[in-house]
Structure 1
Amino acid sequence: MTEPTAADQPRSIFAPEVRATSVGLLILITLIAFESMAVSAALPTAARDLHGLGSYGWAFTGFLIASVVGMVAAGEQTDRRGPAAPLTAGLIAFVAGLLLAGSATTMVQLIAGRVVQGLGGGLMITAAYVVIGEAFADSLRPKLFAAISSAWVLPSLLGPVISGLLSQHASWRWVFLGLVPFSVAGGLLLLPELRAMARRSAQAGMAAAPRRSGRLGHAVAVALGIAALEYTAQHPSLLLVALAVAGIALMVWGLRPLLPPGTVRVAPGVSAPIALRGLLAGSLFGVEALVPLSLTVQHGYSATAAGLPLTASGVTWAFGSWWQGRAVEHDGTRRRVVLIRTGFGCIAFAAAAMTVVALQATPGWLAYPAWTVAGLGAGLAMASLGVLLLRFTTDETRGSDSAALQLSDATAGALTTGLAGMVVAAAARGTISHTTAFITQDLVMCVVAGLGVMLAARARPRVAAEHAAPAIDRLRA
C-alpha cells in the first residue's frame, strides 16, 4: 500500500479521516484490557457459584490457549485477504464468549465462554496491528500506540474494583454481559474502514497469496506448551518437571515456522523487534509476577499495599508510551533504538532494585519507585518495538509478522512467569529460602533485560545493516 504524501496525511489520530477507526480500535483494546484485568476479581465468585473451584485455573489457561491460536489464524488470513474478516470474526467470537460466560449455568460453560473469548481476543489483537499498519501513516503510529497504552490504564486501575463491586452487590455475570454493547459499538465504528480495507484487498488480489500449510498445527503446539508451563507453575512438583520440559519442547517446535528467520539471532529487519519484544515481556513479567509476593512474604505488606507498585507502573507505562509518541522533527530508527535501549535499562534497574527489596533488612517501600521506573521503561520500549515492526514489515507479511510479535510476547512471558512459579514452589517446600528464590528470579530477569540493552542496536532495517557490513569490514582492514 502506498502511503499518501505528507501534505495529505492527517496530523492527529482523531482527525476526521481516521477518527472513527481510532475510536473503534481504542474501544476494542479497552474492552480487552478491562476483561483481562476485571475477570481475575470476578472468577472466584463465579467458580464458587457454579461449584467449579477445582477447574478455576482452566478459565485462564483456556483463554490463553485459544488466544495463541487466534493470533496465528488472524496473521494467516490477514496476509491472504486483509484484516477485515479476522477482525470481524474476532469481534463476533469475543461477544459470543461474553454471552456464553455471562449466562453460564455450569463451570464447563464458563470455561467454554472463556475459550471463545480468547479466540476472539487473539484474532482481534493481531488484526488490529494490521489495521494500524494499513490505515495510519508512519508518523501517526507512535501516537496511536501511546493512546492504546493509555487505554490500559483505566482498566488496570478500575477493572478489579468495578468487577469486585459487581460481583459483591449485583452479579458476577455483569462483568461479562455489561461489555457486550460496548463491543458492538466499537465494531460499528470500525465498519467503514473494514469495508474499505476489504475492497482494497479484493482489488489487490490478496486471495491469491500462497497458503502456508501447518501453521495452525504449530500454533496449537505452542498453546499446549504454554498450558503445560502454566499448569506446572500452578501445581509445581518434581513429577511435573517432565511436563514442563515437554511444554518447552512443544513451544520451540511450534514457534520455528511461526517466527521470521533470524529471530533467535535478533537479526536486523523485522526479526529484531519480534525478538526484543520477547526479551522485554519476559524480563518485565518475570519480575512483576513476584513483586506483590515479595512485599507480602518478606515485609508483611497487606495485599492492597503490595499491589500498589503494579498500579503505579500502569500510570508510568502510559506516560512512557506518550513520551515516545510525541511529535519530533526526526523520528528515525536511531531515536527508536535509543528509546528501546532506555526502556530495557529501566527494567534492568528495577529488577536489580527488587533483588535488594527481597532482603528483609531492606525497606519494602523501595519497590514503589523501582517498579514505577519499570513501567516507564515498558512504555518507552513496548510501543517503539510496535512502531518498528510496522515500519520494517511488508504488505505481504504484515499479518504473520504482527502475529509473531504477539506470540513472542506470550511465550516469553509464559516462560519467565513459569520460572517464577517454580522458584517460589521450591521455597514453599523448603528446598531454598524465599529470599534466595526472589533474588534468583530477579537477578535472572535483570540479565535478560541487560541482554536487551546490548541487543537494542539491532533494531534497524535489514538493508541498512547489509550496507553497514562492508563499511565495517573496510574499517577493520
Structure 2
Amino acid sequence: MTTASPTSVDPVPIPLDDDPGGGVLGGRYRALTLGIVSVVLVIAFEATAVNTAMPTAARQLNGLGLYAFAFSGYFTTTLFALVVSGQWCDRSGPLRPLFSGIAVFGVGLVVAGTAPGMWVFVAGRAIQGLGGGLVIVALYVVVGRAYPERLRPAVFAAFSSAWVLPSIIGPLVSGAVTQHLGWRWVFLAVPALILLPLAVMGPALARSERERPVVRGAAFDRRRTLLAAMAAVGAGLLQYAGQRRDLIGLLPGIAGAALLVPAVLGLLPTGTLRAGRGLPAVILLRGMAAGAFLGAEAFVPLMMTTQRDLSPTLAGLTLTSGGLTWAVGSWLQGRPGAERYREAMIRGGLVLTAVAIGGAALVLFPAVPAWVASVAWGVGGIGMGMAIASVSVLMMKLSTPEDAGANSAALQMSDALGNVLLTGMAGVLFAALGGGSLAAAHEGGGAAGSPGAFAVILLSMAGVALLGALLAGRVRAKA
C-alpha cells in the first residue's frame, strides 16, 4: 500500500448533505466522488486479491525463485511514476495522467494475466506499477483542484474507507476465483471492473477542469525525473544481482548501487538516511515501517500454502485481520489528547509491528495453530495504523505551508523506496535460502522445503521494524 492506502488519512464523518454549499455527495460533487472512490475501491481490491493469487501464479509459472520480483517490480516502477505524475499534473492538470495511468494499469493486468512465464508476469506487474503511480498522484491532485478545502478531509476519509471492504472480501473472492477458475482471472477481470467508475467520473472531472482557469505549470524537472529513473533502475539491478549470487551478478550489483545511492540522496531530505532529528527521521521511519510490514506480508500467503498446506482462500484470509485493525490503530492515534503522545504512538506502533511479524513466524512450527498468523497480523495492523498515521501527522506539523507539498512527496517517496528495497531484500534472501525449490517439493506432495527461508525473511523484517522503534525518539525536532 502506498499513497492510496488506508495509511493516508484518519476517518472523519463524510458530509452527505445536498445543501447550497454541497457535501461530497451533493449534486455538484456526487458523480466525481463516486467515480474516484470507485477507482480506489478497484485498485484496493486488486492489491488485496493479488497477495492471495500470487503463490499459485508463481508455482504454475515455475517462478517461485522470482516471487519477490512480482512485488518489488511493481513498487520499483511506481517509484518512477510518482515523480512523473506529480510534474505532469502540475504542468497540464490531472486528466491526462489519470486516464493514461488507468490505461497503462489495465495493460499491465492483461500482460500479467496472460503471461506464459514468470519473467513476462513480472513485466506485467512492472507495467501495472507505472500505471498505479500515475493514478495515485493524479487522484490526490483531483481532490485538491475539484473540491473546496472544507470537503477534502471527507474525500480522503472516503479513500481510506474504500480499503475496508476489499480487505474483508478481497482474499475470499480471489481465493475462490483462483481455486475454481484459475489465478489468471484475478488479473483479467479487473480491467472490466474499472470501466464503470471511468464512465461515471469522466464527464464530471472534465467539467471541473473546464471551470478552472488555464494555468500552464512549470516545465518538467529533468533532474528529479532522472533521479527517479536512476533509483528505479538501480533497485532493479540490485535485485537482479541478488538473484544471481555469482560473479556474473557482481557487475549489475555495483552498477545498481552506483545509481541508487545518489538517487536516494537527491530525492529525500538531507539527513534522512542518518535519521537526522525532526523531519528527516519522520521521512525515514515511514519507509522503514511500510517496507518492513509489506515486505513480510508479501510472503505470508506463500508461507501458509507451502508450509501449512492451506488453500489460497484461507492463506489470503490470514491477512484480512491486518486490513481491519489498521483502521483501529489509525483511530486510536486520532483520539483527543493523543497528540502529546505522538512519539510514543510511533514507537509503540513499530514495536507492535515487529512483534506481529515475528509472531507470524511461529506458525512454521507444526504444533502452533495456523490461525496464530492471522492474530499476529491483526496486532501488526493496529501497530501500523498507529505508526503510519502518526508519522503523517508529524510530517505536516514540521512543514511550513511553502514546503508541505515537497515534504508530502518525500514521505510517499520514502514509502515507495522502503517497499522496493525491503521487498527486494526479502526476495534475495528467499532465493539464497532455496526458495525456488519450494514449488517442486510442494507440488510433488513431499515436504515443502526448509522453513528457514521464511523464518529469516520474517525475522529480518521484524528487526527493521524494531530498529525503527529505537529511532522513534529522533522525530523530536531540535529545540
Partner of 2:101: 94
Residue of 118, 121, 124 corresponding to 2:132: 121
| Counterpart check, 1:157 vs 2:166 | no
Distance 1:151 1:355, change over 3 A: closer
Q: Which aligned pairs between 1:420-435 and structure 2 lie closer than 5 A?
A: 420-428=426-434, 434-435=450-451
TM-score, normalised on structure 1? 0.73
Q: Distance in 2 between matches of 1:36 and 1:430?
A: 24
1:412 is aligned to 418
In the alignment, the residues of structure 2 paired with residue 346 and residue 300 of structure 1 have an alpha-carbon distance, to the nearest angstrom, of 27
C-alpha displacement of 1:212 = 4.1
Q: For 2:432 and 2:353, how far apart are their aligned partners in 1?
A: 25
Conservation of the 8 A alpha-carbon contact between 2:346 and 2:472: yes
In structure 2, the CA distance between the partners of 1:295 and 1:115, relative to structure 1 (3 Å rule), is: closer
What are the superposed Cα offsets for residues 99-128 of structure 1, whole Å, 9 maximum, x if unpaired?
A: 646887986999988666533321232344
Residue 191 of structure 2 aligns to which amino acid in structure 1?
A: F
Q: Deviations over 1:252-288 (max 9, x none)?
A: 2222211122222333454333211111012212322
- The answer on whether the counterparts of 1:295 and 1:301 sit within 8 Å (CA) in structure 2 is yes
Deviation, 1:335, is 4.2
2:246 maps to 1:238: yes
Unaligned runs of 5+ in 1: 1-10, 469-477
- Please give the residue correspondences for 1:369-384 in structure 2 after superposition, counting only pairs within 5 Å: 369-384=375-390
User: Equivalents in 2 of 1:142, 1:338: separation in Å?
Assistant: 25
Q: CA deviation at 1:175?
A: 2.6
The letter for the 2-side match of 1:14 is: P
1:350 to 1:341, Cα distance in 2 relative to 1, 3 A:
same
Residue 350 (structure 1) aligns with: 356
1:13 is paired with a residue whose SS is coil
Instruction: Give the counterpart of 2:198 among 183, 197, 200.
Output: 183
Q: Deviations over 1:175-215 (max 9, x none)?
A: 3133122134345555566567x54x94xxx846x864411
Structure 2: how far apart are the matches of 1:220 and 1:25?
28
* Kept after mapping to 2: 8 A contact 1:143/1:322: no
| CA displacement at 1:350 relative to structure 2 | 1.1
CA distance in 2, matches of 1:346, 1:416: 19
How far apart are residue 93 of structure 1 and its match? 0.9
CA distance in 2, matches of 1:276, 1:160: 32
Question: Is the CA contact 2:101–2:133 (under 8 Å) kept in the aligned structure 1?
Answer: no
Which one of 32, 45, 49 corresponds to residue 34 of structure 1? Answer: 45
Name the residue aligned to 2:463: 447
Aligned ranges 1:211-290 → 2 under 5 Å: 212-231=221-240, 235-239=243-247, 241-242=249-250, 243-244=252-253, 246-290=255-299
Name the amino acid aligned to 1:276.
L
Task: Flag the 1:171–1:370 CA change in 2: closer, same or farther, 3 A.
Answer: closer
Q: Does 1:318 align with 2:334?
A: no
One-letter code aligned to 1:238: D
Query: 1:371, CA displacement in angstroms?
Result: 1.6
Conservation of the 8 A alpha-carbon contact between 2:105 and 2:130: no
Give the unaligned 5+ runs of structure 2. Answer: 1-11, 17-21, 438-448
> Taking structure 1 as reference, are residues 175 and 395 closer, same or farther at Cα in structure 2, changes over 3 Å only?
same
> d(CA) in 2 for partners of 1:240 and 1:97?
33
Q: Deviations over 1:85-104 (max 9, x none)?
A: 1x322321133235646887
Whichever residue aligns with residue 352 of structure 1, its letter is G
Residues 80, 225 of structure 2: 8 Å contact kept: yes
- SS of the counterpart of 1:434? coil
How far did residue 71 of structure 1 move? 0.2
What is residue 13 of structure 1 aligned with on the other side? Answer: 14
* Code of the aligned partner of 1:274: I
Does the residue aligned with 2:318 lie in a helix, a strand or coil? helix
Distance 1:70 1:184 in 2: 24
CA separation of 1:89/1:321 partners in 2, compared to 1, >3 Å: closer, same or farther?
farther
Change in 2 beyond 3 A, CA 1:14/1:267: farther
- Aligned partner of 2:443 in structure 1 is none
Deviation, 1:217, is 1.1
Shift of 1:223: 1.3
Other structure's SS at 1:256 match: helix
**How many aligned positions are there?**
437
- Structure-2 change in CA distance of 1:454 and 1:170 (3 Å): closer
Distance in 2 of aligned mates of 1:129 and 1:60: 23
Amino acid at match of 1:222: A
Counterpart Cα distance in 1 of 2:122 and 2:423: 22
Q: How far apart, CA to CA, are the structure 2 residues paired with 1:99 and 1:122?
A: 13
Give the superposed CA RMSD: 4.6
1:35 deviation in Å? 3.3
SS of residue in 1 equivalent to 2:319: helix
